[in-house]
């Protein structure tokens, strides 16, 4: 589905045109790079006043890519070989179909972003869409992939796993995720922080069932949040904020957090129980460990030992001392956080699932011996797929007589085997949690 054609520079590099820059970002994602990787660099060339609009162009075009691609195909006699022009046409269609941009402005500005030779092509595509909009949108609604803007394989997997909830999940994936923060309750109460927000003209509301969570409406740049630089709050989805309470770390315990970057759950564990003996945070990527360190400094937290290493090879980073608590925030398809990372629709492949399931299994097998008897392991993913969640945990329980399921009693999510599944929508990303206790064999 992604366009792999060579991305020629069909835009004047001396002109910092927001739509042209957005087309370059889309091209890079279509060529296999993640949005989180390319967007920060692109923002450098965008006037600050246009950051929100620029992000809306990039995120929205990628979010609706399967549908936009289908509609563009209906408007073309032959494919556009040049990737940049193709991406610009998609950005134009997104503005006309999904954004509150006046049609004449969307067309004129998108056409002006192209080099002279491509202006008539882009203009013709967008005006033809205008004339045929009702017909084209009806055709898209009748197409399996285009209807909800999801790759066929992903829509099929979601419908197989959650037939009753599938339509709501697919629609939720196409919504913009809210800005949710986690309040450090050791330093300020949620109400007191809400009051600070109100003094700055910002509104917030609590998330039911998550004592630390506030939704900021409308969302603002993180640097505009009072106390962020001092560690009073961190940006973290409500579902992700459940990890630390579920882990139930106790004073004096040694805690392991594997696949820890960027460190949101690491910080929350320490905020929840500053009296733990030590928290060992492991990640395979040195750059991502640097991000954890930055967050720890911002939050003024200590008692953390950062280790760079593969979670599947504890012999490279473990000191031999057992842990009372282990958090496995497992690598996964990330199908529960598509609304935050719409490029997942383009970058993830069905074949990735089997690879990730093996990786999750290998990590569980590797760290289980590091857990003390009576200790607890919390397994978490931001996936919606049973192969990565309840099936993974059931297979582990079947293979390990010393592992016992610890049920999660909660009002959020739904019970699935040993764990609980949360679907994306509203204040929540899609997440799965399961708790395992190590018991005495025999």
Which SS3 state, helix, strand or coil, does residue 33 take?
Answer: coil
CA–CA separation, 423 vs 169, rounded Å?
7
pLDDT digits (tens, 9 = 90+) for 373-423: 999 999 999 999 999 999 999 999 999 999 999 999 999 999 999 999 999
CA distance to 87, 111, 155, 174, 176, per residue, from 171 (Å): 24, 30, 11, 5, 11
pLDDT digits (tens, 9 = 90+) for 35-79: 999 999 999 989 988 999 999 999 999 999 999 999 999 999 999
The DSSP 8-state label assigned to residue 428 in this structure reads B
Instruction: Give the DSSP H or E segment for 57.
Output: helix 51-63
DSSP per residue, 269-284: HHHH-TT-SEEEEEES
pLDDT digits (tens, 9 = 90+) for 74-91: 999 999 989 999 999 999
Which SS3 state, helix, strand or coil, does residue 213 take?
Answer: strand
Q: Distance between terminal CA atoms of the chain? A: 52
In order of their start, the domains of the chain are 18-149 (1.10.940.10), 179-235 (3.30.70.1170), 240-438 (3.40.50.150)
Give the residue from 178, 329, 184 showing the smallest Cα distance to 243.
329
| pLDDT at residue 441 in the model | 65
| pLDDT at residue 39 in the model | 96
pLDDT digits (tens, 9 = 90+) for 146-184: 999 999 999 999 999 999 999 999 999 999 999 999 999
Task: Tell me: pLDDT of 14 over 50.
Answer: no
Torsion of CA 15, 20, 24, 27, to 10 degrees: -150
Catalytic residues: 382
DSSP per residue, 343-405: THHHH--TTHHHHHHHHHHHHHHHHGGGEEEEEEEEEEES---GGGTHHHHHHHHHH-TTEEE
Q: Over the chain, what is the mean pLDDT?
A: 94
């Amino acid at each position: 589905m992604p366009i792999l054609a060579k991305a020629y520079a069909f835009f004047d590099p001396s002109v910092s045109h927001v739509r042209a820059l957005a087309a370059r970002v889309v091209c890079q994602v279509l060529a296999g790079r993640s949005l989180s990787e390319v967007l920060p660099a692109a923002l450098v060339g965008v006037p600050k006043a246009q950051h929100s609009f620029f992000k809306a162009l990039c995120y929205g075009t990628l979010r609706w890519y399967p549908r936009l691609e289908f509609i563009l195909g209906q408007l073309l006699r032959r494919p556009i070989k040049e990737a940049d022009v193709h991406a610009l046409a998609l950005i134009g269609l997104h503005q006309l179909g999904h954004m509150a941009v006046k049609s004449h402005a969307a067309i004129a500005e998108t056409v002006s972003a192209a080099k002279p030779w491509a202006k008539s092509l882009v203009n013709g595509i967008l005006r033809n869409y205008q004339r045929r909009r009702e017909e084209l949108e009806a055709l898209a609604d009748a197409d399996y992939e285009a209807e909800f803007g999801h790759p066929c394989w992903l829509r099929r997997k979601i419908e197989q796993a959650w037939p009753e909830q599938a339509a709501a999940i697919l629609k939720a994936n196409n919504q913009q995720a809210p800005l949710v923060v986690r309040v450090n309750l050791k330093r300020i109460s949620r109400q007191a922080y809400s009051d600070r927000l109100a003094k700055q003209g910002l509104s917030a509301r609590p998330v039911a069932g998550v004592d630390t969570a506030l939704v900021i409406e409308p969302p603002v740049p993180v640097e505009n949040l009072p106390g962020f630089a001092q560690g009073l709050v961190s940006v973290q989805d409500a579902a992700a904020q459940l990890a630390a309470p579920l882990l139930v770390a106790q004073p004096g315990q040694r805690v392991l957090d594997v696949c820890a970057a960027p460190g949101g759950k690491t910080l929350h564990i320490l905020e929840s129980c500053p009296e733990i003996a030590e928290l060992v945070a492991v990640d395979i990527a040195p750059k991502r460990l640097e991000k954890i360190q930055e967050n720890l400094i911002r939050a003024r937290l200590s008692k953390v030992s950062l280790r760079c290493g593969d979670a599947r090879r504890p012999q490279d980073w473990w000191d031999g001392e057992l842990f009372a608590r282990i958090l496995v925030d497992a690598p996964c398809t990330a199908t529960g956080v598509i609304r935050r990372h719409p490029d997942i629709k383009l970058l993830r492949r069905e074949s990735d699932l089997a690879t990730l399931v093996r990786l999750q299994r290998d990590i569980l097998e590797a760290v289980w011996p590091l857990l003390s008897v009576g200790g607890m392991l919390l397994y978490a993913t931001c996936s919606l797929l049973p192969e990565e969640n309840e099936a993974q945990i059931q297979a582990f329980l079947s293979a390990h007589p010393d592992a016992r399921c610890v049920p999660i009693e909660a009002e959020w999510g739904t019970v699935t085997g040993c764990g609980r599944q949360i679907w994306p929508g509203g204040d929540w990303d899609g997440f799965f949690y399961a708790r395992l206790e190590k018991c005495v064999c025999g």
